[in-house]
Amino acid sequence: MFDLTIVTNWVHDLLTGWMPSMPWLVTTIECVLVGLFLLVAYSVIAMIYIMYERWVCAWIQCRLGPNRVGPKGTLQIFADVIKILQKEIIRLWSTDRFLFYLAPFLVVTASVLTFACLPWGKGFQIIDFNIGVFFIVAVSGIGVLGVLLAGWSSNSKYSLLGAMRSGAQMISYELSVGFSVLTIVCLAGTMSITGIVEAQADGWFLFKGHLPALLAFIIYIIAANAENNRGPFDLPEAEHELTAGYHTEYSGIHYGLFYLAEYLNLFVVSGIAALLFLGGWMPLHVPGWEGFNTVMDYIPSTLWFLGKAFFMTFVFMWIRWSFPRVRIDQLLALEWRYLMPIGLVNLVVMAVVVTQGWHF
């Protein structure tokens, strides 16, 4: 499988050859290039996901999706972007101005930092720490602060109720997400994201880890869906109760930032699921099928990762458009009475499986 570090090293050597006496400038240019890539990828992925969800929603509901603007509605998202950029930013007198404007940027910052940790292919990763999983869990929690600030600073009862619901929901379900992640870390023996992916070279953890890995996968899907405030756990944005939840008072580009962060977070949780349970950019290998494995190796690693991420996104969207919204007491009871105890016991079982060598 082609290692993309060859390309990144070539770019570094090229810049160093042009400016051998200015290593600080080389580092600055590389950081600018990485930042530009992140911003472009952030926007493109969010736009693709908005159209993706519209098409999936239409397919599940047996109706046509966007089909007017552009060929088969493919330009609808560009029309929406232009429209939202032209919307007036309404400045409310009774809000806490600084915190009100800071909140959407905190949500976007959390999603961008998490997005930067995902390896898109072999050697194609912006940040690679030996504690990468810990870093992802830590920075993803910043988004909760943005949501709480948005609701409190808006000086609106609907926004405040939505923020309180969202804060309680996100903080609660972070525990189950953490237990699922720790279960896979226990199986892999490392917190490095690259190390976790490379440990699945001879089989994906969803199949290697027996029942504990499968149970962790199911818990992760439920908890990640709830942490992202997506249906059937979209209580913070319950339209019939709270108008639009914590971003009721936002308009224009500020509302657009919340909208983009929601869909990028969907890609992030899908990518994390692909990395932890489905091998990430690692191809599908079947022991003993050398010819099949060789053919799989010819598929670029980036396509493997994106294909798995889009598959997991389809699962999340399928869940959203298939189940009715639950009540807030049911939502919290599901976490504290069932998911968290099961996840904790499952982590202990995985530790026993690993120490006894019962996994494949």
90-121, pLDDT tens digit by residue? 777 778 888 888 998 998 888 888 888 888 88
Per-residue confidence (pLDDT) for residue 340, from 0 to 100: 93
Query: 277-291 in b/e burial notation, b at 16+ Cβ within 10 A?
Result: bbbbbbbebeeeeee
Cα-only R_g, the chain: 22
pLDDT at 245: 72
Looking at residue 244, its pLDDT comes to 67
pTM as predicted:
0.90
What percentage of residues in the chain have a pLDDT greater than 70? 96
Q: How confident is the model at residue 25 (pLDDT cuts 50, 70, 90)?
A: confident
Q: What is the mean pLDDT of residues 233-248?
A: 70
| pLDDT tens digits, one per residue of 278-329 | 988 888 887 778 888 888 888 888 899 999 999 999 999 999 888 888 888 8
Q: What is the pLDDT of residue 237?
A: 67
Paired tokens of 190: 């490392």
Number of other CB atoms surrounding residue 254 within 10 Å: 20
- The alpha carbon torsion through 49, 52, 58, 60 (nearest 10 deg) reads -100
**pLDDT, tens only, 168-224:** 888 889 999 999 999 999 999 899 898 899 888 888 899 888 889 999 999 999 999
Q: Which pLDDT does position 8 carry in this prediction? A: 80
CA distance 214 to 216: 5
Q: How many whole angstroms separate alpha carbon 350 and alpha carbon 171?
A: 24
- What mean pLDDT value characterizes the chain? 86
In the predicted structure, residue 4 carries a pLDDT above the cut 90 = no
Question: Distance between CA atoms of 163 and 151, rounded to whole angstroms?
Answer: 5
Contacts of 125 (CB under 8 A, 6+ apart): 117, 118, 119, 193, 194
| Mean pLDDT in residue range 59-86 | 87
38-56 average pLDDT score: 89
Residue 127, pLDDT above cutoff 80: no
Q: Which residues contact 310 (CB under 8 A, 6 or more apart)?
A: 52, 270
In sequence order, which residues have a C-beta less than 8 Å from that of residue 61 and are 6 or more positions away?
A: 321
Query: What pLDDT is stored for residue 360 in this prediction?
Result: 62
pLDDT surpasses 70 at 236: no
- What is the per-residue pLDDT for 125? 83
Give the torsion through C-alpha atoms of 296, 299, 303, 307, to 10 deg: -30
Give pLDDT, residue 22. Answer: 82
Can you give the pLDDT at residue 238? Answer: 63
